[in-house]
């Protein structure tokens, strides 16, 4: 089995708009940061020869490259869903591009998924034993098979039962022949919001991973889809139901039986766009507060505060305002290059840093510099950046990380690498400091992160920082093989 757990994605859906596919395209454009490997849109044309039809276009690559005027023109209908996907390794062929589509007894069904189903290997094996033939390696296909087997023709009743089998993170947008459904897992790992706008004399409903997608198309934010909620939109209007009363969440929780919420804190640290409101909080605000706390916790005498652009910018502003040390763009980023992190091989990653970031000697020369980044994962990027800042003449370089040390992999849909590749899982802060070549290194404490968020680990999943995984991890054993391979490249310093 391929590494289907390594997925970061964005989902979108729109109901009742004459330009549904074009608005989906724009929504995906706004959420390009959530996935750069493939993009797809499925529209629902209910007028077509009296028979509802799904029109599908999926392609590898960025949204702008995946669609053209002519491909969008073929996606007729007033309803559409879309998906952007990124997975670092394994199968990046178009069969894994989403939305996944299938013809069920009840009609066509398309599914767009953000998150990762932790027990997917167990469910997949059981389904295969039962005769299911899988087309793709992604965990999302499991939902299609479970629904295909379910005797009910009513999508929501089938989902209500079928979803009880899934453990992990999932925000789904599903398109049937006559309705669109949006739902979130019982712990609400990944975001999903509901918006609306006027469409002719009626209302158009929109669902999206992030509010920045609503902003772009001019839709009003209505509310979050609640964890454990199914929102069903059809010609009869909008209906909400729940597929869990919370009891089976306790069953999943593997020792943490009272857990009711596991919003991913990394959405606020790195993953979401800063102009989005995620889990009811402005991401920009959270990042700025992380920076303020960081200045309180590990302030240092310096001449200038600079961000690693773009991910460190709001935290650096917070750090600068709290410490009174001036903020400058000491490194300029070339915006026409993807995130270095998505480069497929280590050798290319390193080159990527140099292509992407250019330090400015007129700001850095002879200065004591505080550099702020949102997170430190493998340490490779920081090492390169610090070397570049020194080459530009900095006298001292102090790295401040606006999140706690990343010590554990994510099994819920963020591409945090295996433990063996996480520098903080194996090394002390002093060892990391030496490795990256900084004069000093400090991370935001976990407590500081919670204070900045005015919240705590009872609400957020911070497993990548504290190792407290909110669900059972049964079914992730298949990762052991990959872990073995990783050991050859383990970052023991």
Q: Whole-number minimum distance, CB 389 to ligand AMP, in Å?
A: 14
| 463: contact with ligand AMP by CB under 6 A | no
Stretch that binds ligand AMP, among 47-55, 75-83, 139-147, 414-422 (CB under 6 A): 414-422
| 116: contact with ligand AMP by CB under 6 A | no
DSSP state, residue 327: B
Among 87, 416, 418, 471, binds ligand AMP (CB under 6 A): 416
For residue 9, indicate whether it is catalytic: yes
| 415: contact with ligand AMP by CB under 6 A | yes
Q: What is the DSSP string of 472-489?
A: --TTGGGHHHHHHHHHTT
| 414: contact with ligand AMP by CB under 6 A | yes
Q: Which of 20, 81, 65 is nearest to 338 (CA)?
A: 65
Catalytic residue among 9, 204, 212, 464: 9
Q: What does the alpha-carbon distance between residue 39 and residue 51 come to, in Å, rounded to a whole number?
A: 26
Task: Please answer whether residues 285 and 276 qualify as being in contact, where contact means their C-beta atoms are separated by less than 8 angstroms.
Answer: no
Task: Please answer whether residues 12 and 27 qualify as being in contact, where contact means their C-beta atoms are separated by less than 8 angstroms.
Answer: yes
Q: Whole-number minimum distance, CB 159 to ligand AMP, in Å?
A: 29
Among 116, 381, 425, 482, binds ligand AMP (CB under 6 A): 381
| 379: contact with ligand AMP by CB under 6 A | yes
Site string for ligand AMP, 306-325 (x = CB under 6 A): --x--x--------------
- Reduced 3-state DSSP string for 77-145: CCEEEEEEEEECCCCCCHHHCCCEEEEECCEEEEEEEECCECCHHHHHHHHHHCCCCCCCCCCCHHHHH
Among 5, 29, 205, 270, binds ligand AMP (CB under 6 A): 270
Among 341, 343, 478, 486, binds ligand AMP (CB under 6 A): 341
| 333: contact with ligand AMP by CB under 6 A | no
Q: Which residues contact 481 (CB under 8 A, 6 or more apart)?
A: none
| 160: contact with ligand AMP by CB under 6 A | no
Q: Whole-number minimum distance, CB 484 to ligand AMP, in Å?
A: 21
With b for 16 or more beta-carbon neighbours within 10 A and e for fewer, the 364-388 pattern comes to: beebbbbbbbbbbbbbbbbbbbbbb
Stretch that binds ligand AMP, among 184-192, 248-256, 375-383, 468-476 (CB under 6 A): 375-383
Q: What does the alpha-carbon distance between residue 148 and residue 158 come to, in Å, rounded to a whole number?
A: 9
| 327: contact with ligand AMP by CB under 6 A | no
Coil, strand or helix at 414? coil
CB closer to ligand AMP out of 18 and 467: 467
Q: Whole-number minimum distance, CB 382 to ligand AMP, in Å?
A: 6
CB closer to ligand AMP out of 374 and 396: 374
Among 377, 432, 449, 452, binds ligand AMP (CB under 6 A): 377
Q: Whole-number minimum distance, CB 344 to ligand AMP, in Å?
A: 13
| 380: contact with ligand AMP by CB under 6 A | yes
Q: Whole-number minimum distance, CB 373 to ligand AMP, in Å?
A: 5
Strands 440-443 and 396-401 turn out to be: parallel
Among 127, 166, 316, 376, binds ligand AMP (CB under 6 A): 376
Question: How far, rounded to the nearest angstrom, does the alpha carbon of residue 224 sit from its chain's CA centroid?
Answer: 16
C-alpha distance from residue 284 to each of 44, 45, 178, 313, 453 (Å): 35, 38, 38, 9, 11
The secondary structure element, H or E, covering residue 161 is helix 155-162
Stretch that binds ligand AMP, among 22-30, 202-210, 361-369, 374-382 (CB under 6 A): 374-382
| 331: contact with ligand AMP by CB under 6 A | no
Number of amino acids touching ligand AMP (CB under 6 A): 18
Among 339, 368, 395, 419, binds ligand AMP (CB under 6 A): 339
Which residue, chain included where needed, has tokens 């894994």? 96
C-alpha distance from residue 55 to each of 106, 233, 385 (Å): 17, 19, 46
Active site residues per annotation: 9
Which residues sit at the interface with ligand AMP, rule CB under 6 A? 270, 308, 311, 339, 341, 373-382, 414-416
């Amino acid at each position: 089995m391929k590494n289907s757990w390594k997925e970061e994605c964005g989902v979108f859906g729109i109901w009742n708009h004459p330009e549904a596919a074009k608005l989906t395209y724009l929504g995906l454009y706004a959420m390009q940061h959530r996935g750069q490997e493939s993009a797809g849109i499925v529209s629902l044309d209910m007028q077509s020869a009296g028979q509802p039809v799904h029109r599908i276009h999926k392609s590898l690559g960025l949204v702008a490259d995946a669609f053209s005027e002519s491909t969008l023109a073929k996606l007729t209908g007033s309803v559409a869903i879309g998906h952007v996907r990124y997975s670092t390794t394994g199968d990046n062929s178009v069969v894994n591009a989403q939305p996944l589509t299938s013809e069920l007894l009840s009609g066509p069904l398309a599914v767009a998924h953000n998150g990762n189903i932790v027990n997917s290997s167990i469910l997949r094996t059981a389904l295969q034993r039962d005769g299911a033939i899988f087309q793709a390696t992604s965990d999302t296909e499991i939902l299609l098979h479970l629904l295909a087997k379910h005797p009910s023709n009513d999508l929501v009743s089938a989902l209500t039962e079928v979803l009880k089998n899934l453990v992990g993170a999932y925000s789904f947008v599903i398109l049937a022949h006559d309705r669109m459904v949006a739902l979130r897992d019982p712990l609400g790992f990944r975001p999903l919001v509901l918006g609306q706008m006027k469409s002719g004399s009626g209302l158009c409903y929109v669902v999206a991973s992030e509010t920045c997608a609503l902003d772009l198309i001019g839709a009003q934010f209505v509310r979050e889809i609640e964890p454990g909620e199914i929102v069903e939109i059809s010609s009869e209007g909008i209906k909400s139901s729940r597929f869990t009363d919370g009891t089976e969440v306790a069953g999943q929780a593997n020792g943490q039986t009272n857990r009711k919420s596991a919003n991913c804190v990394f959405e606020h640290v790195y993953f979401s766009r800063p102009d989005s409101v995620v889990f009811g909080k402005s991401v920009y605000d959270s990042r700025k507060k992380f920076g303020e706390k960081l200045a309180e916790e590990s302030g240092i005498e310096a001449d200038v505060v600079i961000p690693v652009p773009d991910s460190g910018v709001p935290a650096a502003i917070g750090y600068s305002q709290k410490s009174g040390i001036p903020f400058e763009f000491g490194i300029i980023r070339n915006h026409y290059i993807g995130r270095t992190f998505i480069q497929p091989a280590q050798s290319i990653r390193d080159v990527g840093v140099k292509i992407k970031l250019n330090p400015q000697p007129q700001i850095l020369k002879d200065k004591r510099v505080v550099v702020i980044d949102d997170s430190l994962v493998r340490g490779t990027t920081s090492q390169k950046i610090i070397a570049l800042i020194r080459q530009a003449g900095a006298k001292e370089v102090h790295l401040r990380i606006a999140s706690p040390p990343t010590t554990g992999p994510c099994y819920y849909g963020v591409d945090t690498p295996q433990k063996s590749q996480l520098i903080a899982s194996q090394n002390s802060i002093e060892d990391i400091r030496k490795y990256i070549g900084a004069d000093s290194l400090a991370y935001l404490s976990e407590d500081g992160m919670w204070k900045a968020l005015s919240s705590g680990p009872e609400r957020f999943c911070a497993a990548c920082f504290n190792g407290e995984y909110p669900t059972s991890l049964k079914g992730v054993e298949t990762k052991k093989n990959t872990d073995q391979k990783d050991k050859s490249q383990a970052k023991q310093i």
